[in-house]
Amino acid sequence: MPKKLLILLLFLSPFCMNSQNIIWKTDINDAVAVSAEKRKPLLIFFTAQGVSPQLQNEIFATRDFEEWSRNVILVKLDLSDSSASDAVKEQNLMLKNAFGIEDIPQVCFSEVTVRKGKTNFNKLGIIGYTGSGVKSWISESNSILNPE
């Protein structure tokens, strides 16, 4: 009996997990390399300690977002990360300012090109927490990524 229960638990556990397959890059340089290789835009999530968790809890922690996020390279830049080096902190702050991020948490979509060792970002748009659910958030994100 315990063996059957264990097998059942192992079989059902993937269905009970919520968004465990999402991998966020925390180094913009790694993300740029993957973005250039896979030709996918970046979703850069600017956050900090103590900000509202609604965007993470109501959007990023859903199965719909997990499936949709395969279309982008996920980058999470925590502007309050005390373990980050001064160079990384400065780089993240420069990106925040370059993309015009005023409020956090906020997401910026960007395409990246690397030519002759120089990285160029093409800002596509910014989106924050809308409060209208994950499907609406994804729809708005798709409008940014695929303007008509």
Residue 17 lies in a domain: no
Query: What is the reported pTM?
Result: 0.84
Q: Report percent pLDDT > 70 for the chain.
A: 86
CATH of the domain at 33: 3.40.30.10
**pLDDT tens for each residue of 82-141:** 999 999 999 999 999 999 999 999 999 999 998 898 999 999 999 999 889 999 999 999
Q: What is the pLDDT of residue 6?
A: 42
Pinpoint the alpha helices (H) of the chain: 2-16, 28-38, 54-55, 63-68, 86-98, 134-145
List Cβ neighbours of 80 (8 Å cut-off, separation of 6 or more): 48, 49, 50
Residue 129 lies in a domain: yes
Which single residue is written with the structure tokens 């499936």?
67
Structural domain that includes position 125? 22-145
Tally of domains in the chain: 1
> What's the whole-number average pLDDT of the chain?
88
Residue 4 lies in a domain: no
> Hey, which of 21-25, 65-69, 85-89 has the most confident mean pLDDT?
65-69
